[in-house]
């Protein structure tokens, strides 16, 4: 039985890792970058699907207007504040193949209505835009406490998830920035949280729950990469169902009969 | 808890798969091929390590002299019967990048003493050699009943495994063809078995066990991709140890308390 992934995803509930052997891979080739801004978020998510239908980009990241403006407020790098969404895509193809991959990505963005498309084979120039994406979380942290979501869906449902999260934000009056590892269908809505205001806190938690409900309704997951922990525990049953939850409980018992390993997490 | 890999590797001992959802990937680009023959098996396995140290080939397959000659006896495609080993390596890089990857592979083979190196960007020409590798098992089946091993080791130990299997074959007087998904460190020694001769059958089973002992001694696995089943069950403890075996037993109980799922397999 392959226990590795079971242990890796167990959030400390099945054991303690005391030793790990890694297989190293050769270094990756340098990357080239396409950046595109869109007048609508749907155009950007359509472009994600158009790109991933024909190739596997080395990186394909999404930022919405809230995230773009938060980054621009913080580090002023000249991002387009009027854009609804921005994609940062990278290719690790080599030599002349890179130009063809960049062209595939540019063409997909253009066909999906991008307002502006920029591409570069210069590594450092590309890193500036990757840096903008990386700055999104610290930039949003300057606007308040963050509740960081981690919901993923099969790629065809990405547009519905992104649109739905925005609608949920409006309904509950919660500021949400949407950033995503879009090429994987894995999104991180960042909900701005106000711990001192009980009404707004409740609205934020309600929106947080609605987003998980939406991901589950779209055949997705409440935890793309971060885990269930304590906060998302109440939604796990809706995602996996009673039977899987019961098996999960029995697997936990098999590893940890006395319940001493990270109690209260996941189950 | 991530149960997918646990279920996939369970050989039917934890459940029955009734439905599977797959994520499709874009089609792979056409592949180019390097074929190299070596006067020693150690030269070929050194080349495997030299190649994988600097790149990730799309395919990297190994055939020894026994396999080459069995294929040649069967389908006569002009393989070099005097070679100790042959590598079939492929690149799925595109455009001019492919030429660079082929050159990396050719240079590694040359540095490791290849007697002859051939490369082609023609897909069908490359497929002929891949076909020769694929023909190895049916070709060997014409020489007798086969006991098909499936032992893998970390790549740095591949030369020791290949050399050791050959030594074990000589010691026990068993004909063994070595074929391998060499780039993964995963080998398939094919032991020619004679069910009607009890002495030779016993020698073959003994050699089969020695090969597993060797893989374990080289920090490897008794089952690279095929499974433990019933035949390899006695060696599982040596590979994973008492504690992991006990946890495996408890996980089995969690899924199958009545022991009705593929009984006798793995545990």
What is the per-residue pLDDT across A185-204, written as a single tens digit (0 to 9) for each?
999 999 999 889 999 999 99
- Whole-model pTM? 0.89
- The verdict on a CB contact (< 8 Å) between A93 and B94 is yes
CA dist., res. B109 & res. B38, Å (int): 8
Residues A54 and B80: their CA atoms lie apart, in Å, by 40
- Residue A96 has its nearest CB partner, among B5, B52, B96, at B96
**Are B97 and A94 inside 8 Å of each other by CB?**
yes
B240 and B230 in contact (C-beta within 8 Å)? Answer: no
- What residues in B contact A55, CB-CB < 8 Å? 26
A111 CB within 8 Å of a chain B CB: no
Q: Which residues of B touch A19 (CB under 8 A)?
A: none
Q: What pLDDT was estimated at residue B54?
A: 92
Task: Give me the pLDDT at residue A96, please.
Answer: 81
Buried b / exposed e across B160-170, counting CB within 10 Å, b at 16+?
bbbbbbbebbe
What is the model's pLDDT at position B23? 84
**DSSP state, A124?**
H
**With 90 as the cut, is the pLDDT of residue A21 above it?**
no
- Rounded to 10 deg, the angle between the A41-54 and A97-111 helix axes is 140
Q: What residues of chain B, 139 to 198, have a C-beta less than 8 Å from chain A?
A: 154
Interval A234-240 mean pLDDT: 94
Q: Beta-carbon neighbour count of residue B152 at 10 Å? A: 23
Pairing of strands B116-120, B32-38: antiparallel
Q: Which residues of A touch B49 (CB under 8 A)?
A: none
- Put simply, the answer to whether B2 touches A4 (Cβ < 8 Å) is no
In tens, the pLDDT along A110-129 reads 999 999 999 999 999 999 99
Dihedral angle over CA of B73, B77, B83, B84, nearest 10: -60
- Written as six digits, the tokens of B222 are 């008794």
Question: How sure is the predictor about A31, in pLDDT bands with cuts at 50, 70 and 90?
Answer: very high
**What percent of chain A has pLDDT above 70?**
100
Q: Name the pLDDT band for A17 (thresholds 50, 70, 90).
A: very high
Which of B208, B266, B265 minimizes the C-alpha distance to B236?
B266
DSSP string spanning B172-186?
A: HT--EEEEEEGGGTE
DSSP three-state, residue A109:
helix
At B194 the pLDDT is 86
Instruction: Count interface pairs A-B at CB distance under 8 A.
Output: 95
Q: What are phi and psi of B211, to 5 degrees?
A: -65, -40
Which tokens in the block code for residue A148? 């960081």
Please report the pLDDT score of residue A108 as a whole number.
98
Question: The complex's ipTM?
Answer: 0.81
The pLDDT assigned to B97 comes to 85
User: Which residues does chain B have with pLDDT short of 70?
Assistant: none
Taking an 8 Å cut-off on Cβ atoms, the answer to whether A100 and B97 are in contact is no
Q: How far is A221 from chain B (nearest CA, A)?
A: 12
Distances (CA, A) of B103 to A86, B43, B68, B99: 39, 18, 25, 6
Q: How many other CB atoms are found less than 10 A from the CB of residue B16?
A: 8
Q: How much is the average pLDDT of A38-67?
A: 97
- Residue B167, CA distances (Å) to B1, B38, B164 in order: 44, 18, 5
With contact defined as beta carbons under 8 Å apart, do B2 and B257 qualify?
A: no
The confidence score (pLDDT) of residue A27 equals 84
Query: What per-residue confidence (pLDDT) applies to A115?
Result: 98
Main-chain dihedrals φ then ψ at residue A192, nearest 5 degrees: -80, 125
pLDDT at site B25: 86
B136: closest CA of chain A, how far (Å): 29
Q: What pLDDT score was predicted for residue A2?
A: 84
Q: What confidence score (pLDDT) does residue A149 get?
A: 95
Rounded to the nearest 10 degrees, what angle do helices A233-255 and A198-217 cross at?
A: 70
Is A10 close to B1, i.e. CB distance below 8 A? yes
- How far is Cα B194 from Cα A214, in angstroms, rounded to an integer? 61
Share of chain A above pLDDT 90, in %: 89
Give the distance from residue B75's alpha carbon to the nearest chain A alpha carbon, in angstroms.
37
Write out the H or E segment, with its range, that includes residue A86: strand A85-91
- pLDDT at position B85: 98
What is the SS3 assignment for B190?
Answer: strand
């Amino acid at each position: 039985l392959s226990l590795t992934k079971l242990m890796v995803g167990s959030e400390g509930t099945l054991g303690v890792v005391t030793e790990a052997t890694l297989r190293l891979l050769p270094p990756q080739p340098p990357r080239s970058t396409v950046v595109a801004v869109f007048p609508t978020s749907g155009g950007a998510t359509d472009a994600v699907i158009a790109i991933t239908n024909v190739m596997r980009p080395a990186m394909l990241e999404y930022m919405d207007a809230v995230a773009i403006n938060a980054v621009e407020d913080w580090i002023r790098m000249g991002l387009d504040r009027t854009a609804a969404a921005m994609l940062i895509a990278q290719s690790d193809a080599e030599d002349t193949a890179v130009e063809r991959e960049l062209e595939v990505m540019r063409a997909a963005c253009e066909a999906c209505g991008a307002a502006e498309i920029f591409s570069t084979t210069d590594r450092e120039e590309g890193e500036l835009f990757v840096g903008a994406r990386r700055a999104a979380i610290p930039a949003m942290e300057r606007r308040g406490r963050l509740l960081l979501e981690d919901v993923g869906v099969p790629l065809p449902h990405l547009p519905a998830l992104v649109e739905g999260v925005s609608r949920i934000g409006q309904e509950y009056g919660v500021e949400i920035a949407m950033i995503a590892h879009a090429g994987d269908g894995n999104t991180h809505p960042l909900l701005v949280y106000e711990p001192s205001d009980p009404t707004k806190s409740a609205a934020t938690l309600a929106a947080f729950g609605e987003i998980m409900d939406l991901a589950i309704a779209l055949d997705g997951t409440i935890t793309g990469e971060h885990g269930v922990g304590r906060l998302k525990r109440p939604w796990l049953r809706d995602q996996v169902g009673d039977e899987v939850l019961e098996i999960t409980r029995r697997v936990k018992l098999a590893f940890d009969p006395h319940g001493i390993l990270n109690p209260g997490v996941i189950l």
